[in-house]
Amino acid sequence: MKFVKLAPYLLALSTFILLLVVLYPPRVPLSPLNHLDTTPKSPPPPQYKILGFVPYWNMKKITPLALDSITDFAYFALHLDSTGRVYQLVNRREEDPGYTNYKRLINNPIKVPLTLTIMPIDQDSLTSILSSKTAMETAIASILQVQKESGAVGINLDFEPLGNPPPSLRNSFTTFVKRLAQESENLSLALSVSVYPSVGTSQRIWDLRSLTPHLDYLVVMAYDYTLPGNDKTGPNAPIRGAGQLFENDILTNLASISKLVPPDKILLGIPFYGYEWKTSEGTKYTETSGRGSVASLERIDALIRDNTLELLWDRNTLTPYALKRESGEIVSQIYFEDINSIKLKLELVKKSGLGGIAIWALGYEGDNTALWTTITNYLR
C-alpha cells in the first residue's frame, strides 16, 4: 500500500494504540500497521534489495555472514575533487584512505555485486562540479572509469549540500544525474541517489519528480532524526512520533516521498548504530550534558553482556533506549535499534511495497547473528 493512504489513519491509530497499551501492556512492541489494510496494490518484488554500505574504515570488520546476507555491497566511498576527478592524494606522501581501500577492494574482489558510492570531497567541490559543465563531464567520465575498472554493477551518488541550495544547483544536480544515466545506459548499471528523509517536503538539492525517471533506487537515509549535538536525548530512527514529539518521523517522511517516487524504487535506510548522551536522568527525551557520541550495535551488545544497561522501550516512537549505570547511578542514555525495532521497519518495507533496505553500516553490528537471521527471514 502506498504511504499516501497511511496519513489519515495516524492520529486515530495512535490514540487507539495508546489506550490499548495502557489497559493491556504488550509483551512485545506493537506495530503501527497491524490494524491497517496494507495489502500492496501490485505484487511485491521477488527479492528485496539489501544494500549494505561498507565504509572504508570498517572493511576489516565485515563478516562472512554479512556478505551472505546482503544482495549488494556498497563501498563507501570514492571522492571527487573540484575538477570532477577521483580524489587520490591528501598530500604528496599521503593517499586518501577511501581511494587506498578502493584499490585493495578491486585487487581482492568480493563475490557480492558491487556498488560504488561517489561523493564530493567537500562542499566547495560539490558546488564546483555542479556549477561547471567541464567539471560535470569530467566527474561523469571519472565515475564510468572506476565502474569499468572495478566491475561495479551500481553507482550510488551521495551529494549532501549544507543548508538550502539555490534552484540553479538543484537543476544542475538533476542534469548531472540525467547525463550519468544517459552515458551508462548500455552498462546495465543500477543508479541510486541517497537523500535525507525530509526530502519530500523540504527544498533540497534533490528534485524527486525530475530525478525519478533516471534512477533505479532512492536511498532514504531514515536515521539521524536526533543528532549528537541535540540538547535532549531522542530516537535515531523513529517510526512515528511526529507532530507531538518531533518534527519528522519515518512514516510521515515516507508518505510524502511516495507521492513523488514509486514505492518499489525506495530503499529504507536501517541504522546499525544509535547515539549515547551523558545525562543523570532516566526520563526519555531528557536534557543532556554535552555532545552525544555514536553507539554501534556492537558496543551496545557488549554493554548488555556486562549488565550495565537497563533496557527500555519507547512506545511513542517504536524504538528501544537504555540507561547506562555506574555504581548504581545513571550516567548516560542511549537510543539505538534492536531486533524488535528492525522487525517493525522490515514489516513496513514489505507491507508498503518498498524495494528493500539500505544498511548503514556493515561492521557496526559485531557478531550479532540474530540480526542477520531476522533480516534474511523477512526479505530473502
Vertex 12 angle, CA 11 and 13, to 5°: 90
Buried b (16+ CB within 10 A) or exposed e, 32-61: bbeeeebebeeebeeebbbbbbbbbebbeb
Q: For residue 148, what pLDDT band results from cuts at 50, 70 and 90?
A: very high
pLDDT digits (tens, 9 = 90+) for 154-164: 999 999 999 88
Spatial CB neighbours of 333, under 8 Å, sequence gap ≥ 6: 233, 276, 277, 279, 281, 282, 284, 286, 288, 321, 322, 323, 324
- Average pLDDT of the chain, as a whole number: 90
Peptide bond into 361 cis (omega under 30): yes
> CA-CA distance, 188 to 173, in Å (whole number)?
22
- What confidence score (pLDDT) does residue 303 get? 96
pLDDT digits (tens, 9 = 90+) for 266-299: 999 999 999 999 999 999 999 999 999 999 999 9
**Which strand ranges, in their side-by-side order, compose the sheet holding 329-335?**
293-296, 273-278, 329-335, 319-326, 309-314
- What confidence score (pLDDT) does residue 46 get? 53
Contact 79, 116 (CB under 8 A): no
What's the whole-number mean pLDDT along residues 177-199?
A: 97
Q: What are the structural domain ranges in the chain?
A: 3-272+339-379
| CATH number at 3-272+339-379 | 3.20.20.80
What's the whole-number mean pLDDT along residues 305-334?
A: 96
Percent of the chain whose predicted confidence (pLDDT) is above 90: 84
Contact 200, 260 (CB under 8 A): yes
pLDDT at 122 over 70: yes
Contact 56, 103 (CB under 8 A): no
pLDDT digits (tens, 9 = 90+) for 195-237: 999 999 987 999 999 999 999 999 999 999 999 999 999 999 9
pLDDT at 14 over 70: no
User: Is the full-model pTM beyond 0.85?
Assistant: yes
pLDDT at 29 over 50: no
The CB density around residue 285, as the number of other CB atoms within 10 Å, is 20
pLDDT at 306 over 70: yes
Contact 154, 113 (CB under 8 A): yes
pLDDT at 340 over 70: yes
pLDDT at 3 over 60: no
pLDDT at 253 over 50: yes
- CA 68 to chain CA centroid, nearest Å: 20
- What confidence score (pLDDT) does residue 41 get? 45
pLDDT at 113 over 90: yes
From 39-43, 131-135, 250-254, 373-377, the region with the lowest mean pLDDT: 39-43
pLDDT digits (tens, 9 = 90+) for 40-97: 445 544 589 999 999 999 999 999 999 999 999 999 999 999 999 999 999 999 999 9
Amino acid 284 reads K
Q: Which three cell numbers stand for residue 64?
A: 562472512
- What confidence score (pLDDT) does residue 314 get? 97
pLDDT at 6 over 50: no
- What confidence score (pLDDT) does residue 307 get? 94
Contact 372, 332 (CB under 8 A): no
What's the whole-number mean pLDDT along residues 2-22?
A: 41
pLDDT at 176 over 50: yes
